[in-house]
Every structure is written in C-alpha cells, then in structure tokens.
Copies of this chain bind each other. A is one copy, B any other.
C-alpha cells in the first residue's frame, strides 16, 4: 500500500506539468505552469479556507479530516476560482463556495468508499479502514451539512437551492449505478445519466458558483455551467480510460478497479458494442479477475480501439467545454479554462 502525504493544492498541476514535459508536450507544460502560477494565490487561499472546518475530537470529524487531509486534486474549487476570475475575482464568498463544493465532493467519496468497500483512497487507507464504516457514513452526512451551512453563509441567491437540486441528481445517479451493480450494463443512456449526475453535476455547480461570485450575467453563468458539464464528462471519460489503460505508478490505483466494483465504464461499453464476445468474458470477470480474463479484456479493448475512441470522446467533450467560452473573448481567465479542459484530456492521473 502506497502512503502519500497530504498533497499540496498545486500538486495536480505540477504532476501534470511533469507528465506533459516527459511526453514532450512542451507547449502544454508551459501553459500548465503558467496556469499554476496564475491561480496559486487563489488555491493557497482555498487551502487556508479548508482549515475553517472544525477539527473536533469526535470520530466522525476525525474520519472526515482523514480524507480531506489527503489532499486530492481540488479541481472543483479551482473551477470556482477560475470562473470567478472571468468576472470580479475570487473573494471571501468565493472561498466559502469553493470550500463547500470540496466538502460535498468529499462527502460523496466517504459514502462511495463504504458502498464500494474500497480499501484505499488517494493512495492511502480509506477513512472506513481507519475509523470504520459507520463513522464514514456519519462523516459524509456531517460534511454535507457543513457544506450546506457554508453555502447559506455565503448568501448568494439561488446557490443553495441549486446545490440541493444537484445533490438530489447525484443521489439518483448513484441509484442507477447501484441498480446495475455487478451486471454487465452496456447501456449508454444509463452510463451518461450516472456520469452527468455523479461527476458533471458538481462541476456545473462549481462553474456557476464562481460565475455568480464574479458578478457575471445570467447568460454568462449558463454558458459556464455548460462548460462545467462538458468538463465533467470529459474528466470522467478519462478516469474510465485510466481504469483500463492507466499507469498504476501515476494513478496510484490498480487497473480495473471499476470493473471489480461492478461498474461498466465507457471504454467497456464501446468495446461491448463492437465485440459481442466480450460480454461473456466480462461476465466471467464478475466471478473474479483472473490474469487470463484481464488479458482477454485488454485484447478486446485494443482490437476494438475502444480506449482510443474513449480518449477521442473525452477530447470532443473538452472541445465542447472550450466552445462555451466563445462569448467571453480572450483573457487570462479564458486561457486558463481552456488549459484546464485540455489538461483534463491528456492527464495520466
């Protein structure tokens, strides 16, 4: 088991920067380090905001902090910050909303890890392994309530209602996933319902929250929310690719973790459509992943070019996200959001 220290806010960007560099994507590396410098202050502000969360002695609080202290990518807070910088900037209210979205995200991870019986998270033992399932369930509830209280205090009209609607969407998406758990479910519509609810919904809210903080118009808020939707879908499609074709050193996650947890990912859906024999192989995998089954799945993914097409799909979604920025003309903030969308596709972790 790989244990990592709490990752600093900039870790995603610098890690990506290294990846981009070693792969010879020099231009991308340059833009990443530019983006990294450009939001460094805001992300440091957000890091300080994280310390607002009470550090009580209760096991529920320790369980929540165990997860939060492991860092994570902080991509949703970064969306709040960047979106706000399209307008008047990332202020105290923006920091509160960035905190809230990270807490909601953390709450879902705590509950997901209980449901998936996950042993590790962010390269360390999952909170449930340290403090137990019950503490993780209540810790998720606690973070959710803390997040909603932060949104209340931020006092931006409409954002609390929107977050409640988003959480509702997230839970119903979890429900769809749960109903098909352990099945080989080749349905694209189920897949997109889950991705839009579980992943993209919170990106949408992040972008809208930042836009509201920045004082943008309703039409601009809508455009940025659509950016969040496409970014979220692209992000998840790449997560799916990394599950079947990732470098374990970079991701810190074993290959086929989703498959082991009974979830059908997009590359597998594409491969199933093109290789009907894969169905039987995946059904066998449900009874345990043998080396020969893994080999057969990888071979099917290669022959059907499902991984390539899943990456292509992610690139299209990133392009759709970038197209939502058209109305804003050129600015540092726009260039930063373009970089985020592009990076979401080429990332290796």
Contacts and interface: CB of A to CB of B under 8 A. Distances in A.
Interface residues of A, number: 37
Contacts of A146: 168
Nearest to A143: B171
A168 B152 contact: no
A111 B148 CA distance: 19
Contact of A179 (B58, B144, B174, B176): B58
A176 to B, nearest CB: 7
Given A60-B175, A175-B58, A115 B134 contact: yes
A149 to B, nearest CB: 5
A59 interface: yes
A44 interface: no
A74 to B, nearest CB: 23
A247 B137 CA distance: 33
A131 to B, nearest CB: 9
A232 B207 CA distance: 43
B141 A60 contact: no
Copies, count:
2
Contacts of A164: 145, 148-149, 152
A161 interface: yes
Given A148-B164, A164-B145, A167-B145, A138 B178 contact: yes
B145 A179 contact: no
Interface string A102-133: 00000000010011000000000000000011
A137 B61 CA distance: 19
A114 B135 contact: no
A26 to B, nearest CB: 45
Contacts of A61: 172, 175
